[in-house]
Amino acid sequence: MEFNSDSRSFCLPVTVLDTVAEQLADVDLTLPDYCPDIEKILKCTLVPQIQTKSLSGGQLQIEGSCSVSVLYVESEHKTIRCCEQSVNFSQSFSVRDTSDNFAVITKTKPEYINCRALSPRRLVIHGAFSLYVKVLTTQKTTLFTPADGSLELLTKKMDFADLTAFCQEQFTVSEEISVADKPRIEGILYSKVTAAVTDVKAVTGKLMVSGELNLKLFYLTDVESGETAKLDYILPFSRIADCEGIDENTRNLLGCDVMSYDIRLKNDMLSDKPAVALDAKLCLTAEGYEIENKELIIDAYSTEFASVPQFENLKSVSEVNPVSESYIEKLTASLDDGKISKILDIYSDSVTTDSKPSKDAVEVSGKINLCIVALDDKNYPIFIERSCDYSHVPDSTQGCNAMYFLRAEPSGISFRLSDDSSAEIRCELKITGGAVKNEVTKAVSGVEVLEDKPVKPENCSLMLYYAAQGENLWEIAKAHNTALDSLLKENQVEELTLDSPQMLLIPKA
């Protein structure tokens, strides 16, 4: 006789693909006619962007582009200029065991870039970046539940997070941004767009998301004088996403990533008011959980027949908390040889993230790559790059041991020159994602009852047993094929573990 579980279950996300592929970016860059000659290269940068990602018929197709930008000092006026060129890329992956409900999570990381000048107007650039791809789907786990009550069961009450909603949606935010209080934009030297969710409301089957796009620009206001300016603009956005299974009672974890963006200057020749047209493609991934306290069967046996329980290491989630927290990281950047007369801009072009359990919470750590554009004591442009470590334990990760949708983005960077060769920097880092508590519990997955091997009846109704301190009454009842409730009642005890030696009466009839 076998007992199958069919009445209780829970659902969790499961990873069916987790891989990385290297993408090459080789560019033969010739400066256009309107760009002056290169005197000195300050920085070469790879900026990969995802245009589309689609999964069909077991094949995942990723399409994108990689922008190669060169920040340099031009030879005529000794000012900063930027030139860029894009190359397209395409990558496919085989994916097995996917359901109709899935999510594709992508991340890119520049690995290296080598730049060689063939002439003041021509560069040969070789670079590569890593494309990280993870495909998530849902998996249902059933809990062993005997139907007829013929087994003795040892249970443990636990919280189970049940994934009731799982959805992913791509959408575009387009806006023409007028920044009349800023100087005219004549050339973009650096740009970055990040997204952050500020508010989430759920009703039955709908997720109403409010967020902000943060556009950062470092740009030329006058190409001849080399004057620069900065723009830090917040653009609110909202989205109503269809998400079956979500409602007012679910605990919702969200990831919102900028897949790609395009910036176009909209300067009017008859006006000094600058304007920027922004098109950003975003990807929203949402998980909705319901937390329920359930009894998990951790051991079982039959009092009538010989029985063999089967066990499994049951993976579950017992806690789910959204994370959105900012903190200040203080850094110092120094110039190894030379002096700084003026800092034009400080920005971070990449932040790596990692997480690990730390004292019943989750520690988030990684590296912040800082880029400093400055002028030396002779007003000649210089570029300083420093990589700094960071670590932080967000308060909302208490009681958890892992992170989903982890992101860390600089929301603000301020600085001051401490002397003529170093700068003190304050970086406000915003950490977002979802904190969860993963559990692994040894649980019963089934019991085989051997009906051809009945328990031999005893010729007495009670049996004396001298139990030592620390013995467990469940193990005693199981060893003597008697019901646990009868053993507890007969000896008028409530706790399963004995705190002192004791003589027990074991019912046998």
From 410, 439, 468, the end of a domain falls on 439
Domain contains 450: no
Residue 287: exposure state from Cβ atoms within 10 A (0-12, 13-18, ≥19): buried
Alpha-carbon radius of gyration of the chain: 31
Give residue 268's Cα distance to chain centre: 41
Whole-angstrom distance, CA of residue 496 vs CA of residue 10: 29
In the beta sheet, which residues pair with residue 364?
A: 355, 392
pLDDT of 498 above 70:
yes
pLDDT of 184 above 90:
no
Whole-angstrom distance, CA of residue 64 vs CA of residue 91: 9
Residues 386 and 494 both lie in one domain: no
Residue 128, pLDDT score: 96
Structure tokens at 424: 């003190």
Whole-angstrom distance, CA of residue 324 vs CA of residue 506: 56
For residue 401, give Cα distances in angstroms to 86, 97, 255, 363, 433: 40, 27, 18, 9, 13
The pLDDT tens digits of the residues spanning 251-285 come to 999 999 999 999 998 765 555 667 889 999 999 99
Domain contains 96: yes
The pLDDT tens digits of the residues spanning 320-345 come to 999 999 999 888 877 766 788 888 99
From 411, 439, 467, the end of a domain falls on 439
Residue 458, pLDDT score: 75
**Ranges 34-38, 286-290, 329-333, 346-350: which has the least confidence:** 329-333
CA nearest neighbour of 423 among 380, 369, 384, 475: 384
Domain contains 221: yes
Residues 111 and 190 both lie in one domain: yes
Residues 265 and 186 both lie in one domain: yes
Whole-angstrom distance, CA of residue 158 vs CA of residue 441: 10
Residues 74 and 212 both lie in one domain: yes
Whole-angstrom distance, CA of residue 415 vs CA of residue 425: 4
Q: To the nearest 10°, the Cα dihedral for 131, 132, 138, 140?
A: 140
Residues 508 and 421 both lie in one domain: no
Residues 244 and 127 both lie in one domain: yes
Structure tokens at 505: 């009466």
Contact 281, 260 (CB under 8 A): yes
Domain contains 325: yes
Residues 73 and 35 both lie in one domain: yes
pLDDT of 304 above 80:
yes
Residue 268, pLDDT score: 58
What average pLDDT is seen over the chain? 91
One-letter-per-residue 3-state SS of 122-162: EEEEEEEEEEEEEEEEEEEEEECCCCCCCCEEEEEEEEEEE
Residue 182, pLDDT score: 83
In the beta sheet, which residues pair with residue 173?
A: 280
Domain contains 444: no
Residues 127 and 39 both lie in one domain: yes
From 408, 439, 470, the end of a domain falls on 439
Residues 400 and 495 both lie in one domain: no
Residues 365 and 487 both lie in one domain: no
* Residue type at 363 in one-letter notation: E
| 8-state DSSP, 334 | E
* Average pLDDT for 105-112: 94
Q: What is the DSSP string of 193-261?
A: EEEEEEEEEEETTEEEEEEEEEEEEEEEEETTTTEEEEEEEEEEEEEEEE-TT--TT-EEEEEEEEEEE
Whole-angstrom distance, CA of residue 232 vs CA of residue 489: 72
Whole-angstrom distance, CA of residue 225 vs CA of residue 174: 32
* Average pLDDT for 397-414: 94
Whole-angstrom distance, CA of residue 173 vs CA of residue 382: 35
* Average pLDDT for 488-504: 90
Question: Confidence class of residue 3 from pLDDT cuts 50, 70 and 90?
Answer: very low
Q: What is the DSSP string of 429-444?
A: EEEEEEEEEEEEEEEE
Domain contains 304: no
Residues 409 and 468 both lie in one domain: no
pTM of the model: 0.89
Q: Which residues contact 447 (CB under 8 A, 6 or more apart)?
A: 2, 3, 144, 146, 151, 300, 301, 302, 307, 308, 309, 310
Print the domain residue range for 272.
8-139+162-290+318-439
The pLDDT > 70 percentage for the chain reads: 96
Domain contains 154: no
Q: Which residues contact 337 (CB under 8 A, 6 or more apart)?
A: none
Contact 152, 299 (CB under 8 A): no
Which CATH number fits the domain that encloses residue 488? 3.10.350.10
Whole-angstrom distance, CA of residue 478 vs CA of residue 303: 8
The pLDDT tens digits of the residues spanning 416-456 come to 887 777 788 899 999 999 999 999 999 999 999 999 999 88
Structure tokens at 125: 């650039």
Domain contains 452: no
**Ranges 131-145, 170-184, 294-308: which has the least confidence:** 170-184
Question: Confidence class of residue 240 from pLDDT cuts 50, 70 and 90?
Answer: very high
Domain count, the chain: 2
Residues 86 and 170 both lie in one domain: yes
CA nearest neighbour of 198 among 240, 237, 170, 225: 237
Whole-angstrom distance, CA of residue 297 vs CA of residue 145: 8
Residue 272, pLDDT score: 61
